[in-house]
Amino acid sequence: MGEVTELRSGEYRARVDRTGAGLRALTWRGRDVVWPYDGDGPKAFQGQVLAPWPNRVTENGYRFDGDEHHPEPNDPATGTAIHGLVHDRTWTPESVSEDAVELRLDFEGSPGFPFPLEMTVAYRLTADGLTVATTARNRGGSPAPFGLGFHPYLTLGEPVSALAARGEFALEVTAGIRQPVDGQMLPVGDPVPVDGGDFDFRTPGRQLGDTVLDTAFSALERDADGRAWVRASGPEHRVSLWCDRSFGWLQLFSADTLGGDDHRAHLAAEPMTCPANALATGTDLIVLAPGESTAHVFGILAEPLA
């Protein structure tokens, strides 16, 4: 993997990789807050920037502005193109300080996505946690489709499976609907309410138990600052992810399809601007006019429970 920038502020430390602008590590009081990765790279997209689309695109490709495009599938299990095209690119540091780094990527396009973009990702640590601000600008002369996501896995220092088995993994997700999917993990039908069912995590203290998640949630309830939240609580502390109004979706993944020690060890909480297959369906897809930009912010923090 690429060069790493180390950040520090108060009780937080972070490591940001130039390859993919990925979040290699985030710690609080010496504890991992997210599933870290080392120089060999992420095992399961942990810490990665997902652009110019998050989640999956069908093997049938998509039509935009009258033209057909076919991103190369990179997920053998589903035959889909997953998580965009920027996670293996080298990003350029624009500014670096003790507690912040901003990285830039001039994306020239690809055969399956021939739309040039300029992207920046800025990581900043404060005493209140990590904030990640992203911009994307259409560098081309015609409209460009765009979607964005991030792929942190929240961790509480012990496998999710062990904590959940003891009734010590509480999950709160402020979402009113979820999107059903088919065998390729692509959307099928309309979103459905979560009311009172296995996927209703709106009540604080709701235990994860043995619920399996690889689920996109929307209709996000927001606080006075416009932020939607995912809160994962263990016996001693809580790790939370928030996202601003530009992220209309949250993908939760309980890592049940991962093998070995990674199986159900961490919980992915992925803020997304659009659901899977948005390039093909148009659902919540951003369309940037030439020269137009879009901006997005999310954050991660930890706090004691006692």
Segments making up each domain of the chain, as ranges? 4-304
Per-residue pLDDT of the chain (306 residues; tens, 9 = 90+): 569 999 999 999 999 999 999 999 999 999 999 999 998 999 999 999 999 999 999 999 999 999 999 999 999 999 999 999 999 999 999 999 999 999 999 999 999 999 999 999 999 999 999 999 999 999 999 999 999 999 999 999 999 999 999 999 999 999 999 999 999 999 999 999 999 999 999 999 999 999 999 999 999 999 999 999 999 999 999 999 999 999 999 999 999 999 999 999 999 999 999 999 999 999 999 999 999 999 999 999 999 997
Cα 61–chain centre separation: 22
Angstrom CA distances, 300 to 121, 165, 204, stand at 15, 25, 18
Q: What is the pTM of this model?
A: 0.97
Q: Read out DSSP for 109-124?
A: -BTTB---EEEEEEEE
User: Do the Cβ atoms of 117 and 46 come closer than 8 Å?
Assistant: no
Q: Residue 2 has what pLDDT?
A: 64
Would you call 86 exposed, middle or buried from its count of C-beta atoms within 10 A (0-12, 13-18, 19+)? Answer: buried
Phi then psi for residue 261, to 5 deg, are -70, -15
CA 223 – CA 157 distance, rounded (Å): 28
How many Cα atoms are found within 13 Å in the side-chain-facing hemisphere of 197?
A: 10
User: Do the Cβ atoms of 120 and 135 come closer than 8 Å?
Assistant: yes
- Number of Cβ within 10 Å of residue 266's Cβ equals 23
DSSP state of 73: P
- Closest to 123 measured CA to CA, from 45, 8, 227: 8
Structure token pair of residue 87: 């996670």
Residue in the structure block whose two tokens are 């404060």: 126
4-304 topology per CATH: Beta-galactosidase; Chain A, domain 5 (2.70.98)
Q: Residue 1 has what pLDDT?
A: 54
Q: Residue 85 has what pLDDT?
A: 98
Q: Residue 7 has what pLDDT?
A: 99
Cα 252–chain centre separation: 9
